Chains A and B, each alone.
Chain A
Amino acid sequence: MAESEKELYKGYRGPGLECLKKFEAYIWCDVEISTHDSQFIGFVLPRSEKADEFHIVLKLRTGYNIGVSASKITNIKVNGRKIANYKIPEKMFPYSPNKPRVVLFGTGGTIASRLDYRTGAVIPAFTPGELYGSVPELADYCNLETEKLYGVFSENMGPEQYKTLAIAIGREIEKGVKGIVIGHGTDTLHHTAAILSYMVQNSPVPIVLVGSQRSSDRPSSDAALNLIHSVKTAAESDIAETMVCMFGPTSDSYGLLHRGTRVRKMHSSYRSTFRTIGDIPIAMINKDKITPLSDNYKRRRNDKDVTILPYFEEKVGMVYYYPNMHPDMIDSMVENGYKGIIIAGTGLGHVNKPLYPALQRAKDAGVAVYMTVQTLWGYVQMYVYDTGRDMMDLGVVPGANLLPEAAYMKLCWALGQTSDLEEVKKIMLTPIAGEITEREPSNGYLIMQGGIPEVEEFISQYRK
């Protein structure tokens, strides 16, 4: 089949493209490139669209890549062509009659993907066969089925995806699945975990969201272990909640099961980035066992009585308050027809006084405004200072210890069901899945401070 010109010169533009055309060479050609003072032998590779237009990329015989400046090239001799045909290895996922059926939903995250060695493109591995080919241990726990719902990056997840996911979960539970795993990019993993906690209620089986901080094409990836942990949880645990399953420490030792409404990504790149905020995780997990850290969780059941409430109001915003914030920040949302606003306020839940008129205007327009705290840990408490009381008079509702993201998702969900602000308030302040807790245990806030001798001593005794 003839390849289109675009395919033949994939990624090349300007002088690079001109040069290849001039010497009748294109990608995957085995070439000898001559410049006025040197010679290079290798394969012409596709060029990244983000790279400049002045260089031609060559894979040398040693496997290394280099770029040659197109303007210096005096000749390209083509000695043949070998098109890379990248395929993910696949092995039949073995079926065992005694093992529970687990479904893995794919959303497009990198939990199970690998790199195309030649081009650098990430190719998702997803079918059971592909997964079994790379993580054979999965077959020790379950009979795995997979379904790719859509392929979007974590940051592009949105209302449609949430709804589709919730409905798909409901469908599988009704079919009698024993556990559900959702592969997801890590950036907004906790947003999805929160909304699913509201949309999917009374699940009889575990719903486990999992991702990876290091892509699975690298030997040190956390993907395989996270996947093993999450599949084990879905198949075996008696915790019927919506959870996030990711590394506990950065070491390859154990994972943590975090409640979907109390978890947050806390580091841009660490493996142990997900932490439960204001509480303790539900359980620890390794390849051999699941160890609950408290008995405060919903138990697995044998029925199929799940409730799916796939509601979502899109006109909801979130404002991260900063000193010097002008009222137009609030006004613009109100003027644009927003129905709900989550404020991440300072301290116990505060904003500056100049914002008050804007808050009044929001109240007058019937906008639901809820307060959460930037400190992440702790409760909103608006009675302590007069300013707080003033704000409540302006219609701002204290969001207890709702995490800002969990509050945001809940307000979207609540406003998706009703526009009656009293009804919304009732939904918002009635905990469904641990998003508001009555008490914060004393070990719910533990951030060890490096440098302090006792902390350093602790770190030296346990693997990070």
Chain B
Amino acid sequence: MSNFKFKPFEEMTNDDYAEVGFKSGLEVHQQLLTKRKLFCRCPAGRYSKEVHAEILRHMRPTLSELGEYDGTALMEFKTKKDVVYQINRDTVCTYEMDDTPPFAMDEEALDIAIEVGMLMDANVVDELHIARKQYLDGSIPTGFQRTAIVSVGGRFPYKDRFIDVIQMSIEEDSCREKEDRGHLRVYNTDRLGMPLIETVTEPQMYTPIEVAEVTQIIRKINRSTGHVRTGLGAGREDVNVSVRGGTRIEIKGVHKIKLIPLLTYNEAKRQWNLLRLRDELLSRRITEESFVSKSFDITRFLKKTAYMPISLALAEGKVAKCVLLKGFKGLLSWETQTDTFFSKEISDRVRVIACLDNSPNIINSDSNENALSTLEGQKIRKFISAEDNDTLVIVWGNETDTDTAAKEIAIRAREATIGIPSETRQALLDGTNGFERILPGPERMYPDTDLPPAILTDERKADLRSKLPKRFWLAEAWYQELGIPQDVIGVLSISKYADLFETAVKEWKIDPVFASVAIVQYRKRLKKKGLCTCVAAENMQSIFEALRDGKIIKEGVYTALKAVMTEKTFTEDMLPVPANDKDIDEAVKEAKAELKAITMFDPANEGSLLTDMVMDKLRGRVSGEKIAKMFNANSKKEA
């Protein structure tokens, strides 16, 4: 392994990332815009804080085929959580509660998923098989997520290459975690069961920025269907990161794309530094086999400690344990992520697995030497026969949990001799990540016997293919040629008006720049006036058809759009009739009459004021140039 040391985030170059062998793949989740949930008839997308009932469940690990618990199962079993589901009767039925078998998969959701698969040029499967993917954290009351592969393969362009897609699946969304304290985890169930797709890419992103950019592309593919949900939580990413010699680590539930670069940087750094830590241990001759740790009950030495977290715990009758890590001196202060140290890896495990979640939950002799008094430290060191090059980790809590914690501390320390444990990690707001759970094994997938396979007929596929929107990257390339403003391109290409735009330009010969600005920017301007930006595609089309037929002029588009957005519907009378000469004459006369009543400070402004007044009277019915030209001609005549 090279001697490369991670630089601060801002100073890392593409070459640096190549040096450490940075590689990342994505699992992009996207909620679909359907009326119903995926496997029952509950309404989708209705969120509520009101709770009518609670259900308590415990997730029990099922044994793997080899007669062993897989990593996640074992971990969740150790944690022994009471999982409580809060239920609102309007959004959750007995299906989500796992008291009724599933209903047939929602066809609307399946159509949208197929559409996305086709947009990525993937192979849509002929027969859909529903699988159960086990989750023991309780995030789904059944203990598994129903999921099915919709398409395999596929790709989309990025920079000068293509990003390959492994597969895309349709699945039911999980619960939202509300609380996780000690042995209690509480979930809100309103999101549970909503249709979701997951697009999985090959690990073909080689810098943190690339990961963010490719995420954006996948989100745009999804959005270009016009059939997905938007807003916070509607799109979420799991980001897989590895470095050379490292392990694929999954950072789960990233809500914001802009967080991705820093998160992936920190994960790469963590892996690189854990590999360096392993080398350091090796140079100290500590290997998986030679690793030594011991744990001791040290409650009696700390009865009178001045260190508050421990003294408070012991006052409640709790215990304290010390884990001795032979030869580890200084290594708990080994930096893993930005301003984050190896002690955090241990503390995280204690929090998640032993359910000791007060902070701090451990202290150690590498970084918290002053927490205990010198005398306390000496007594403990003597009692456990600690030597100068050892590290002591102290943990406290109720007896069972502290026991679990002491074991877990030793487990995580030993894992440092191997390298990087296979885990899923959670994204933290400061751009670092924390331990979430052990990575589940592949045996957590098994067939769902409650529903038969569904056949996706060629007719269905052909029908969906005929209605596909243009690939947004092809649309954007064309927009570039047309000279459409840069800030309009990205919005128009995935908007529901993209097809209308194409027709307007190609068939109706409407000016592309005008059409694009009218479609994208006018609504933004009108939004500032407090109007709703949602305009049905057919209403927008009616306005452009009027323009094509000469029923309105260009200036009329804005006026008509304003009326549509105000009334939330379209009628012919919203179209401003183009002004003829007589209309203009009358407007000018009226304006002049009104102008007489106004005292001008600067008579030189009179001309422009008059123009504005006339334009105001004929809003959307006449072009500014025409009026301006008319007044110019008039003034020349008068001169």
Q: Tell whether, in the assembled complex, residue A38 and residue B123 are in contact, meaning their CB atoms are under 8 Å apart.
A: yes
Identity of the chain B residue whose Cβ is nearest the Cβ of A272 in the assembled complex = B99
Contacts of B455 in A (CB 8 A): 52, 55, 67
Identity of the chain A residue whose Cβ is nearest the Cβ of B58 in the assembled complex = A252
Say how far B138's CB is from chain A's closest CB, in angstroms.
Answer: 9
Count how many pairs of residues, one from A and one from B, have CB atoms less than 8 Å apart in the complex: 164
Task: Pick the interface stretch among B60-68, B179-187, B342-350, B352-360.
Answer: B60-68
Q: Tell whether, in the assembled complex, residue A219 and residue B61 are in contact, meaning their CB atoms are under 8 Å apart.
A: yes
> Of residues A87, A89, A213, which shows the largest number of chain B Cβ atoms within 10 Å of its Cβ?
A89
Q: Tell whether, in the assembled complex, residue B129 and residue A40 are in contact, meaning their CB atoms are under 8 Å apart.
A: no
B126 at the interface (CB under 8 A from A): yes
A270 at the interface (CB under 8 A from B): yes
On chain A, the number of residues with a Cβ less than 8 Å from chain B's Cβ atoms is 58
Contacts of B143 in A (CB 8 A): 218-221
Q: Which of A118, A120, A270, A464 contacts B449 (CB 8 A)?
A: A120
> Of residues A117, A219, A270, A459, which shows the largest number of chain B Cβ atoms within 10 Å of its Cβ?
A219
Task: Pick the interface stretch among B299-307, B440-448, B494-502, B536-544.
Answer: B440-448
A10 at the interface (CB under 8 A from B): no
Contacts of A96 in B (CB 8 A): none
Interface of A is mostly: loop
Provided the pairs A64-B149, A133-B67, A269-B99 are in contact, do residues A221 and B449 lie with their beta carbons within 8 angstroms?
no
Provided the pairs A117-B443, A220-B59, A250-B55 are in contact, do residues A37 and B100 lie with their beta carbons within 8 angstroms?
no
Identity of the chain A residue whose Cβ is nearest the Cβ of B446 in the assembled complex = A117
Contacts of A218 in B (CB 8 A): 62, 132, 142-144
A271 at the interface (CB under 8 A from B): yes
Say how far A453's CB is from chain B's closest CB, in angstroms.
Answer: 12
B294 at the interface (CB under 8 A from A): no
Identity of the chain A residue whose Cβ is nearest the Cβ of B125 in the assembled complex = A66
Identity of the chain A residue whose Cβ is nearest the Cβ of B122 in the assembled complex = A38
B595 at the interface (CB under 8 A from A): no
Which residues of chain A in 76-100 are interfacial with respect to chain B, using CB atoms and an 8 Å cutoff? 86-90
Provided the pairs A40-B152, A63-B131, A68-B125 are in contact, do residues A89 and B53 lie with their beta carbons within 8 angstroms?
no
Which residues of chain A in 184-223 are interfacial with respect to chain B, using CB atoms and an 8 Å cutoff? 213-214, 216-221
C-alpha spacing A46/B54, complex, angstroms: 41
> Of residues B66, B87, B99, B445, which shows the largest number of chain A Cβ atoms within 10 Å of its Cβ?
B99
Say how far A174's CB is from chain B's closest CB, in angstroms.
Answer: 36
Q: Tell whether, in the assembled complex, residue B52 and residue A55 are in contact, meaning their CB atoms are under 8 Å apart.
A: no
Identity of the chain A residue whose Cβ is nearest the Cβ of B67 in the assembled complex = A89
Contacts of B66 in A (CB 8 A): 89
B148 at the interface (CB under 8 A from A): yes
C-alpha spacing A119/B97, complex, angstroms: 26
Provided the pairs A220-B59, A270-B99 are in contact, do residues A57 and B129 lie with their beta carbons within 8 angstroms?
yes
Contacts of A87 in B (CB 8 A): 65, 67
Q: Tell whether, in the assembled complex, residue A65 and residue B131 are in contact, meaning their CB atoms are under 8 Å apart.
A: yes
A336 at the interface (CB under 8 A from B): no
Q: Tell whether, in the assembled complex, residue B59 and residue A219 are in contact, meaning their CB atoms are under 8 Å apart.
A: yes
B167 at the interface (CB under 8 A from A): yes
Identity of the chain A residue whose Cβ is nearest the Cβ of B124 in the assembled complex = A38
Q: Tell whether, in the assembled complex, residue B123 and residue A37 are in contact, meaning their CB atoms are under 8 Å apart.
A: yes
B482 at the interface (CB under 8 A from A): no
Say how far B89's CB is from chain A's closest CB, in angstroms.
Answer: 8
A303 at the interface (CB under 8 A from B): no
Chain B's interface size range is: 35 or more
C-alpha spacing A303/B442, complex, angstroms: 53
C-alpha spacing A114/B62, complex, angstroms: 9
Contacts of A220 in B (CB 8 A): 57, 59-60, 98, 141-143
A284 at the interface (CB under 8 A from B): no
A134 at the interface (CB under 8 A from B): yes
B169 at the interface (CB under 8 A from A): yes
Contacts of B61 in A (CB 8 A): 219
Interface string of B98-127 (1 = CB under 8 A from A): 111100000000000000000000010111
Contacts of B51 in A (CB 8 A): 460
Q: Tell whether, in the assembled complex, residue B442 and residue A63 are in contact, meaning their CB atoms are under 8 Å apart.
A: yes
Contacts of B149 in A (CB 8 A): 60, 62, 64-66
C-alpha spacing A72/B123, complex, angstroms: 12
Provided the pairs A66-B129, A252-B57 are in contact, do residues A51 and B452 lie with their beta carbons within 8 angstroms?
yes
A164 at the interface (CB under 8 A from B): no
A115 at the interface (CB under 8 A from B): yes
Q: Which of A39, A67, A253 contacts B453 (CB 8 A)?
A: A67
A74 at the interface (CB under 8 A from B): no
Closest 9 CB pairs of A and B: A67-B127, A219-B143, A89-B67, A63-B445, A38-B123, A69-B126, A120-B447, A65-B129, A251-B56
Interface of A with B (CB < 8 Å)?
A: 35, 37-40, 48, 50-52, 55, 57, 60, 62-69, 72, 86-90, 114-115, 117-120, 122, 133-134, 213-214, 216-221, 224-225, 250-253, 267, 269-271, 456, 459-460, 463-464
A to B CB contacts below 8 Å, 28 in the list: A37-B123, A57-B127, A57-B129, A60-B152, A63-B443, A64-B147, A64-B149, A67-B126, A68-B125, A68-B126, A117-B65, A122-B449, A133-B67, A134-B62, A218-B142, A218-B144, A219-B59, A219-B143, A220-B57, A220-B98, A251-B55, A267-B99, A269-B101, A270-B94, A271-B99, A460-B53, A463-B56, A464-B53
Instruction: Give 11 A-B pairs besides A38-B123, A253-B56 with Cβ atoms closer than 8 angstroms.
Output: A57-B129, A64-B147, A64-B167, A66-B149, A115-B449, A117-B447, A213-B99, A218-B62, A220-B57, A250-B97, A463-B56
